[in-house]
Amino acid sequence: MLKNVCLIYNLTQTHLIMKKVMIAAALVCATFATTSCRETKTETREVIREVEVETTDDDSEGILERTAKEVDKEVNEEINEEIDKIGNDD
Give pLDDT tens digits along the chain (90 positions).
Answer: 556 656 566 667 777 788 889 999 999 888 877 775 556 677 888 888 888 877 666 567 788 888 999 999 999 999 998 888 887 655
* Threshold 0.85, pTM exceeds: no
Determine the pLDDT at residue 70: 92
What is the per-residue pLDDT across 56-65, written as a single tens digit (0 to 9) for each?
A: 665 677 888 8
The CA distance from 53 to 31, in Å, is 54
DSSP per residue, 1-44? -HHHHHHHHHHHHHHHHHHHHHHHHHHHHHHHHHHTTPPPP---
- Any idea where the domains of the chain sit in the sequence? 1-35, 61-90
